[in-house]
Amino acid sequence: MGLKKNSTFNEIKISPNPANSEIKINLNANINLENKNIGFSIANTLGQITQSGKLTLEANSTKLKLENLTAGVYFLTLTINNENKITQKIIKE
């Protein structure tokens, strides 16, 4: 049994990572993500959701503020149209 490849996302790039106050999210996708319902959640290493909401993309990229997070390791999960998910580790300095 292998891993199921996500058919919507080719790649997600987060920069800078580690970050202080803000990250830029770039998505390389098989579809145009503008005007799509894109949700996000940030969870700590205990799995507790520390931040969540909706994102608006321009040219398949957006910025997300991290100012309310304390320093540590987190997991950013993006969800498109409540079905396709991708998770990336981020480090807050």
Whichever domain contains 51, its CATH number is 2.60.40
Q: How many residues does the chain have?
A: 93
SS3 for the chain is CCCCCCCCEEEEEEECCCECCEEEEEEEECCCCCCCCEEEEEEECCCCEEEEEEECCECCEEEEECCCCCCEEEEEEEEECCCEEEEEEEEEC
- pTM: predicted TM-score of the whole model, two decimal places: 0.81
Q: Name the amino acid, one letter, at 14.
A: I
The residue range of the domain holding 69 is: 9-17+25-92
Q: Residue 4 domain-assigned?
A: no
Q: Residue 2 domain-assigned?
A: no
Residue 91 · residue 17 · CB < 8 Å: yes
What CA–CA distance (Å, rounded) separates 39 from 25?
A: 13
Q: Residue 48 domain-assigned?
A: yes
Per-residue pLDDT of the chain (93 residues), as tens digits, is 333 344 555 678 899 999 999 999 988 766 666 666 789 999 999 999 999 999 887 777 889 999 999 999 999 998 887 777 889 999 999
**For the chain, how many structural domains are there in total?**
1
Q: Residue 35 domain-assigned?
A: yes
Q: Residue 3 domain-assigned?
A: no
Residue 42 · residue 50 · CB < 8 Å: yes
Q: Residue 1 domain-assigned?
A: no
